[in-house]
């Protein structure tokens, strides 16, 4: 995490609501995380997406204690992202502010009854997809999250692109495909973000999802900063 240029990333997030971090994890770490999927004792729950009309595929929410790499990622990425989150709150005229450390923020989630960890591993096979959605789990919402692709496109799977859709006021929706390679991360807006307009900032709603996996198997790690009720 030390090599991440947070300043540049903050600028990209302000401009686009999404930023890529190339090679955040090396291939060995990706493989280790991918293999954890079968280790059912590490997870608090499993979701079969088609049962809830979330798409097709499945995911598992990690239980406490989180894997070291996930815990470290949450702690290291939170402070620079909280600066963006606070600037967005100011721009949107919202009064809440995010505390400087993730431990402080988790205390706030706990006080709101959001005590269950939200980092997750997702597994998709051929024909699977993830419908456009927002990862909201209670009143406490940290407005940025991270996804890391654990499989290699072209080698492990085809299709399965991460997409973001922006709904701007009185305009038609706009889609962005974020091309990731194994180990790359995307940082993106969870539910809304400010966009500078002629008369101050306006609010843009964001949703994300994954297009159909055409073949092979695709794993991803999702790191969400608020916990769940």
Residues that bind Fe ion (CB under 5 A): 135
Residue 208 CB, shortest distance to ligand AKG, in Å, is: 6
Is the Cβ–Cβ distance between 55 and 49 less than 8 Å? yes
Question: Measured between alpha carbons, how far is residue 160 from residues 37, 77, 143 in Å?
Answer: 19, 25, 24
- Interaction partner, residue 98 (Fe ion, ligand AKG, none; CB < 5-8 Å by kind): none
CB of residue 185 vs ligand AKG: minimum separation in angstroms?
10
Q: Report the residue closest to ligand AKG, judged by CB.
A: 222
If the CB atoms of residues 22 and 100 are measured against ligand AKG, the closer one turns out to be 22
Shortest Å distance, C-beta 134 to ligand AKG: 9
69 Cβ contact list (under 8 Å, min separation 6): 25, 29, 32, 33
- In the complex, minimum distance from the CB of residue 177 to ligand AKG, in angstroms, rounded to a whole number: 12
Residues that bind ligand AKG (CB under 6 A): 122, 130, 135, 147, 162, 208, 210, 220, 222
Residue closer to ligand AKG, measured from CB, 106 or 220: 220
Using the minimum distance from each CB to ligand AKG, give the nearer residue, 42 or 201.
42
Q: Rounded to the nearest whole angstrom, what is the least distance from the CB of residue 10 to ligand AKG in the complex? A: 21
Q: List the one residue out of 177, 161, 158, 163 whose CA is nearest residue 217.
A: 158
Phi, psi of 78, deg, nearest 5: -60, -50
Which lies closer to ligand AKG via its Cβ, residue 30 or residue 122?
122
C-alpha–C-alpha distance, residues 134 and 31, integer Å: 27
| Nearest residue (CB) to Fe ion, 4 versus 47 | 47
- Residue 147 binds which of Fe ion, ligand AKG, none (CB < 5-8 A, kind-dependent): ligand AKG
When the beta carbons of 85 and 147 are compared against ligand AKG, the nearer one is 147
Q: What is the dihedral of CA 115, 68, 62, 137, to 10 degrees?
A: 40
Of 37, 36, 38, 45, nearest in space to 63 by CA = 45
Residues 163, 174: contact at Cβ < 8 Å? no
Of residues 159, 162, 176, 163, the one with CA closest to residue 125: 159
CB of 188 to ligand AKG, least distance (A): 9
Q: Which residue is nearest to Fe ion (CB)?
A: 135
Q: Which does 162 bind (CB under 5 to 8 A by kind): Fe ion, ligand AKG, none?
A: ligand AKG
| 23, 69, 77 from 113: Cα distances, Å | 35, 25, 23
H or E, element range at 130: strand 129-133
């Amino acid at each position: 995490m030390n090599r991440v240029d947070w300043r540049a990333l903050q600028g990209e997030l302000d401009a686009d609501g999404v930023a890529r971090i190339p090679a955040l994890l090396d291939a060995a770490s990706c493989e280790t995380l991918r293999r954890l999927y079968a280790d059912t004792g590490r997870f608090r729950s499993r979701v079969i997406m088609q049962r809830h009309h979330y798409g097709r595929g499945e995911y598992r929410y990690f239980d406490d204690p989180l894997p070291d790499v996930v815990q470290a990622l949450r702690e290291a990425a939170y402070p620079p992202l909280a600066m963006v989150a606070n600037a967005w709150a100011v721009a949107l005229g919202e009064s809440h502010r995010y505390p400087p450390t993730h431990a402080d923020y988790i205390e706030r989630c706990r006080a709101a009854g959001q005590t269950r960890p939200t980092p997750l591993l997702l597994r998709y096979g051929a024909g699977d997809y993830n419908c456009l959605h927002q990862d909201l789990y209670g009143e406490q919402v940290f407005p940025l999250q991270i996804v890391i692709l654990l499989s290699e496109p072209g080698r492990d799977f085809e299709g399965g692109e991460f997409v973001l859709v922006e709904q701007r006021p009185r305009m038609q929706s706009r889609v962005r495909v974020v091309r990731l390679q194994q180990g790359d991360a995307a940082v993106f807006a969870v539910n809304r973000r400010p966009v500078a307009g002629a008369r101050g900032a306006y609010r843009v709603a964001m949703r994300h999802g994954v297009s159909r996996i055409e073949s092979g198997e695709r794993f991803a790690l999702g790191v969400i900063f608020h916990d769940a009720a």
